[in-house]
Homo-oligomer: A and B are copies of this chain.
Amino acid sequence: VETSSAIQALVVTLDLLGTFAFAISGASAGIHKRLDIFGVLVLAFVAATFGGIARDLLIGAVPPAALTNVYYLVTALVAGIATFLWFPKIEKRQSPVLVFDAIGLSFFVAAGTQKALAFGIDPVMAAILGMLTGIGGGVMRDLLVAQVPAILRTDFYAVAALAGASVIVIGDAVGFRPEACALAGGALCLVLRLMAIRYGWRLPASRPDQNPDAP
């Protein structure tokens, strides 16, 4: 068999872990904005799934996977309810949440890039769509609470996603096996993101010399 059941179990575990971590970030954003429990759960689900939904809409894979596999919904709801109930405790444990989030990002980027390639998207755009799969949920989470997406503003986050996705499409073009490409790209994304968290890496921000309308 090409994919052993051990690998399949790992893939499912990583996917659920990523969904869970992203849902926590969504629920936390909702709680900070004092949404009601319903709004908090919506943000949990959106943060966990919107990246994949946007990718699926753009490549024509409808209905999106997040709407056909009900376990994404269940995972996001469990994470959202847990965050609602134990918010102060979860707020204090930012480090593990960030690590889970980095794992989720890496997994989503690898899976998203592979899916785009499988749908015949050309390499450059497959890398962009892989990155979108990873960051889309966070962008929509921030839009729903009327904030400029943090990913666009301050963090070495999307670049890690893009680097991982690029490795995958290059490996695919060269002719490596999909599993090897996904592993290498996901690992690069994870390492870059964890180092960015550890060392506080940031991209250069823009410095408008006139008319600044942001604080």
Contact = CB atoms under 8 A, between A and B. Distances in A.
A80 to B, nearest CB: 11
Nearest to A124: B70
B147 A91 contact: no
A28 to B, nearest CB: 9
A116 B198 CA distance: 45
Interface residues of A, number: 64
A40 interface: yes
Given A53-B58, A146-B146, A152-B30, A206 B36 contact: yes
B35 A206 contact: yes
A38 B206 contact: no
Interface in A62-110: 62-64, 67-68, 70, 73, 84, 87-88, 91
Contacts of A122: 68, 70
A39 interface: yes
Given A53-B58, A149-B144, A209 B87 contact: yes
A77 B42 CA distance: 30
A60 interface: yes
Contacts of A62: 57-60
Interface stretch (A12-20, A153-161, A167-175, A178-186): A153-161
Given A31-B206, A91-B208, A143-B144, 14 more contacts: A30-B152, A34-B206, A34-B212, A36-B152, A36-B202, A36-B206, A38-B159, A57-B58, A58-B63, A58-B67, A59-B62, A70-B125, A88-B210, A146-B148
11 contacts: A31-B208, A34-B212, A38-B159, A40-B206, A43-B152, A57-B58, A57-B62, A58-B63, A58-B64, A68-B121, A146-B146
